[in-house]
Chains A and B, each alone.
Chain A
Amino acid sequence: MSDLILLGIFEKIIANMFKQSIFLLVFIIFSSITVSSQQLTKIRYLPHWLPQAQFSGYYMAKEKGFYKKYGLEVEIKTGSPECTASNDLANENCDIASMFLSGAIQAYANDVKLVDICQLSKKSALIFIAKKEKGISKPEDFNGKKIGIWRSDIQALPIAFLKKYNIDATIIPITSSVNAFYYDVIDIMCVMWYNEYHTILNYGINPDELNVFFLNDHDLNFPEDGIFCTEEFYENNKQVCQNFVKATLEGWNYAFDHEDETIDLVMTYRKNANIPANAVHQRWMFERMKDVFEYKNHELNGKLSNELYLKTAKVLLETGKINSIPDFNKFNKTKY
């Protein structure tokens, strides 16, 4: 009988202790969230194009709380063909932006001092496409043709191609769609392999009906997507920049390991932006990003090599887009 009483007392003590520890745990979690939300640094990030799989890593870093983990509260702004990331950075419409390396070098040389804090892309995905029926099978055939090129800071690269082969053609500035190419308003169009090329296939043109010219194949391999901010912002927020890059790289790694989940998230971003949401197309793009980022063995390298930097800058210099090559060490902050 006395044993039973002792057992009852023991049970009550244990139950009280359990209740207290639950209360303590909830208190700790609640207070830590409150503390962390108080400490989060607000960052406005601008992708340089419409929402798509090209920016999966950023979406995933936000979705999975990687930014928060590094003390950041990131607002992912909606890019568009109308916005130029360098202008938005200069005008402080955003803190950090992704853009092409060539665009950032041009901005730096034109006194918008931008620095590269992470160089994701390691090779160019730019291609020229032409319908085979037009008989354009080599660069010389570009002469006298109408060539559609985006009106953005990446123009320098396709222009470098035209200059390399002394091509005399009419340049038609294009906003975003490939309809001008599809309806034969233009003969040739500069597009991204991971994006518009596949869009054209999804307009019913078969791959064997197209001639494709990879800039890569013509010794014009320029790294593209990188993460940039102004030199000033960087100097004042080095740790923030470092954390943003770390979280973004984690976001990309997670995305590459969870393809279906990533595509679903990209689709949500596109639907929210009221732009056509096509999962097949986004998957195609996502797959190509692995190639462009040279993603291997679950690792991403965000470093910018001096060699590729100089190669890109030289082309910009030769095409008259810049007057002098900015100092690599000042421009390159990809140290993480």
Chain B
Amino acid sequence: MKFFSMKNRGIAFRYSLSILAITILIFALFFIVNRNISKGIILKNVENNAENLTISTANKIESVIKSVQKIPKNQSSLLQNFQYSANELKKLLRLSLETNPEIFGSCIAFKPYGFYNDSLYFAPYYYRSGDSLIYENIGNDSYQYFYWDWYQIPKELEKAIWSEPFYDEGGGNILMCTYSVPFLKKSEGIEEFTGIITVDISLKWLEKLMSKIKLFDNGYSFLLSGNGTLITHPDENLVFNQTIFSIAEERNLPELREIGRDMIKGGSNFVSYTSIVTGKEGWIFYAPLESNGWSMAMVVPSDELFCDLHSLNRKLLILGCIGITLLLFLIILISHRLTKPLTKLAKITQTIGSGNFNTGIQVCNASKEIVQLGNSINQMQLELKNYIKNLKDTTAAKEKIESELKIAHDIQQGIIPKIFPPFPEREDIDLYAVLNPARDVGGDLYDFFFIDECKICFAIGDVSGKGVPASLFMAITRTLLRSKTTKTSSAKEVVSELNVELCQGNENSMFVTFFLGILDTKTGNVEFCNAGHNYPYIIRNDDKIECIEETHGTPIGIFEDINYKSGTFQLFKNDSLVLYTDGITEAMNIDNNLYGDERLIKLLNNSKDHHPRVITKTIVDDVNIFVGEAEQSDDITILILTYFLNK
């Protein structure tokens, strides 16, 4: 079966197998239809022949039977109308045998005391014995003819009948059939039954006639009596001994019994049949003999019937096999020729696949489709070549940009203070900050520096947008912050100046949310200016969280003429100021939920250690846990300043 599996097979194989299968199917169909039609025609012809032969034979038998039937019928009318003496009756019988060679014997059997008043039996009977005619009075105590079928049945039925075949020991001592006609006589004006006139036919006579009738070499015919007894048959042992039904029982052929039942009922048919002589399959045609209720059958053996058809079928099969073999050879040849360029193309495609785009394809003497396929592969080769070149260029450019961005990242990280603790010598404050850009470079910034001995300036900002433009704007902001902050500067002045500077030439309308605070480390007082930035929190020494909900204007870089104001708040010992960008509160997890201020406040509230590095790490870790596998959407910046109060 594996051989016929289509899986992983070539086109040639599939093509050959499919065409072959269809061809065989068509041939088989043609063969079967042809055989059945031919069989039907032959059977129809045989049926017609058998029917004609049966009918002509039946007519022959009927003509004899009818001529035989006339004899006792004529005698019956004579006996009914005239009185005959015993001698005259004998003469009458003798004459009928002399003038009718087809009959074997004839009898006039009178009812008990019907002829002589003192004699129970009177049945004069003439029969043939060789060339002579023998006379006998068959009635006596050991042959009481009144109770035999040939007498009793026509008497009771009051009509002429053909008896079943019988071996008449009291009569002619041969196997015979008798035609019995009841005759009546008028007695006191009433017609009453007087006796039976019979004529006997030897079955040998019928056997001779029937043996001449046959179809084909081994066909044969047979006759059935009214009760299914075989009257004539090629197998003489069956005649008179068997009925068609006893044969059916003996040979266990229920279908034969059904045929027999139809035959004795006067049916006529042409059906399949198993010969009881040869045991071979065959066909039987049967039809009734109307005059005596017998049935005649003609048997034709199948092997002879279909001999020519079988021979024709054999030749057709051989021719078919040769044709299919030739066809198979042709299909393989054609399909190989068709698929050869495809195999070549497949090899070339493999070479192209390995990276050699300079393989030129020349398809000549091939079908239109193969040429098209070749051209397409050539075109594809060209396209691939260009594409790969472009890809190389793009990749080089991208790598360059990435390299530059890396440098930019390093520069950006370099411009914000990264060394912690930044003022290890000071015990009054500690400060910690982180900046994690979402991309290589970010737009967040923080910065801190002492403007004099006591005042430290610290700032946090978030530039609108992301990436390189934001990072450049952040660098400008940070540079301006350092340059504009002097010892005397207040927070609002620095922010106002930064705003003016950033608004100038800001064609891209970029802006920065910005928080700037100046802590006087002596007093703990913080002057601050919040330009649109997130409100900072203070973690008081007693762990209470306080939010500085005060804004002094829009983010810087938008409106040049804004005059920023400032506010103040007081830091006490161990208070920590928490500054952050919206990268914290707007951090998103994979379900697009925001980290939020509430979670931040809760986290800060639970923070027991007020050291800025610890708080920063706690916040960053919690944000990372919240975000999980989601991509960082914004730069994250935290700056925490803890005030320890100057000693």
| A residues neighboring B (CB under 8 Å) | 80, 82-83, 146, 151, 172-175, 177, 179-180, 182-183, 185-186, 201-204, 274-281
Contact = CB atoms under 8 A, between A and B. Distances in A.
B149 A180 contact: yes
Interface residues of B, number: 33
Contact of B257 (A83, A177, A186, A204): A204
| Residue with the greatest number of chain B CB neighbours at <10 A, chosen from A174, A175, A202 | A202
Nearest to A271: B241
Contact of A185 (B142, B153, B226, B241): B153
B169 interface: yes
B243 A204 contact: yes
Contacts of A275: 167
B147 A175 contact: yes
A172 B144 CA distance: 14
Contact of B143 (A82, A274, A277, A279): A82
Nearest to A278: B246
A179 B149 contact: yes
Given A276-B242, A278-B242, 18 more contacts: A82-B143, A151-B147, A175-B144, A177-B149, A177-B164, A180-B152, A185-B153, A201-B245, A201-B249, A203-B227, A203-B264, A204-B228, A204-B261, A274-B169, A276-B240, A278-B241, A279-B250, A280-B250
- The 8 A-B residue pairs with the shortest CB-CB distance, nearest first, are A175-B147, A203-B227, A185-B156, A280-B250, A202-B246, A202-B245, A276-B241, A277-B241
B243 A180 contact: no
A203 B240 CA distance: 13
Nearest to A274: B167
B87 to A, nearest CB: 29
A274 B163 CA distance: 18
Contacts of A280: 246, 249-250
B1 interface: no
A175 B164 CA distance: 15
A33 B164 CA distance: 48
26 contacts: A146-B156, A175-B152, A177-B164, A179-B153, A179-B163, A179-B164, A179-B227, A180-B149, A182-B226, A182-B227, A183-B153, A183-B157, A183-B161, A185-B156, A201-B245, A202-B245, A203-B245, A204-B227, A204-B228, A204-B243, A204-B257, A276-B229, A276-B240, A278-B241, A279-B250, A280-B250
Contacts of A278: 241-243, 246
Contacts of A276: 229, 240-242
Main secondary structure of the interface of B (DSSP, over half): mixed
Nearest to A200: B227
Interface-centre pick from A174, A182, A186, A276 (highest chain B CB count, 10 A): A276
A80 B164 CA distance: 19
Contact of B243 (A82, A183, A202): A202
Contacts of A201: 245, 249
B260 A204 contact: yes
A274 B175 CA distance: 9
Contacts of A186: 156
B148 interface: yes
B139 to A, nearest CB: 12
Nearest to A201: B245
Contacts of B240: 276
B249 to A, nearest CB: 5
Interface of B: 141-144, 147-149, 152-153, 156-157, 161, 163-164, 167, 169, 226-229, 240-246, 249-250, 257, 260-261, 264
Contact of B264 (A82, A174, A204, A281): A204
A146 B244 CA distance: 29
B246 A281 contact: yes
Given A151-B147, A280-B250, A172 B156 contact: yes
Contacts of B142: 80, 82-83
Contact of B147 (A146, A173, A204, A277): A173
Nearest to A267: B241
Contacts of B161: 183
**B149, B226, B264 pick with most chain A CB within 10 angstroms:** B149
Contacts of B261: 204
A146 B157 CA distance: 12
B228 A82 contact: no
A80 to B, nearest CB: 8
Nearest to B174: A274
Nearest to A281: B246
Interface-central residue, B141, B227, B264, by most chain A CB under 10 Å: B227
Nearest to B142: A82
Contact of B152 (A185, A203, A277, A281): A185
Given A82-B144, A274-B167, A276-B240, A183 B226 contact: yes
A277 B250 CA distance: 13
B149 A203 contact: no
Contacts of B148: 175
Contacts of B249: 201-202, 280
A267 to B, nearest CB: 9
B157 to A, nearest CB: 6
Nearest to A177: B149
A186 B226 CA distance: 17
Contacts of B149: 175, 177, 179-180
A320 to B, nearest CB: 23
A144 to B, nearest CB: 16
Contacts of B226: 182-183
Nearest to B141: A82
A276 B228 CA distance: 13
Which residue, A151, A172, A179, has most C-beta atoms of chain B within 10 A? A179
Contacts of A274: 167, 169
Contacts of A177: 149, 164
A204 B293 CA distance: 14
Nearest to A82: B142
A151 B141 CA distance: 13
B228 A202 contact: yes
Contacts of A277: 241
B245 A204 contact: yes
A274 B157 CA distance: 28
Contacts of A83: 142
A168 B156 CA distance: 19
A111 B227 CA distance: 43
A58 B157 CA distance: 40
A204 B157 CA distance: 21
A285 to B, nearest CB: 12
A185 B158 CA distance: 10
Contacts of A151: 147
A203 B156 contact: no
A175 B151 CA distance: 11
B164 A185 contact: no
A336 B133 CA distance: 55
Nearest to B161: A183
Nearest to B226: A183
B499 to A, nearest CB: 121
A282 to B, nearest CB: 10
A154 B167 CA distance: 25
A177 B167 CA distance: 12
The listed residue with most A CB atoms (<10 A of its CB), out of B167, B245, B250, is B245
Contacts of A185: 152-153, 156-157
A297 B227 CA distance: 39
Contacts of A204: 227-228, 243-245, 257, 260-261, 264
Nearest to B152: A180
A274 B243 CA distance: 16
A187 B455 CA distance: 146
A34 to B, nearest CB: 38
Max chain A CB contacts within 10 Å: which of B141, B143, B147? B147
A194 to B, nearest CB: 15
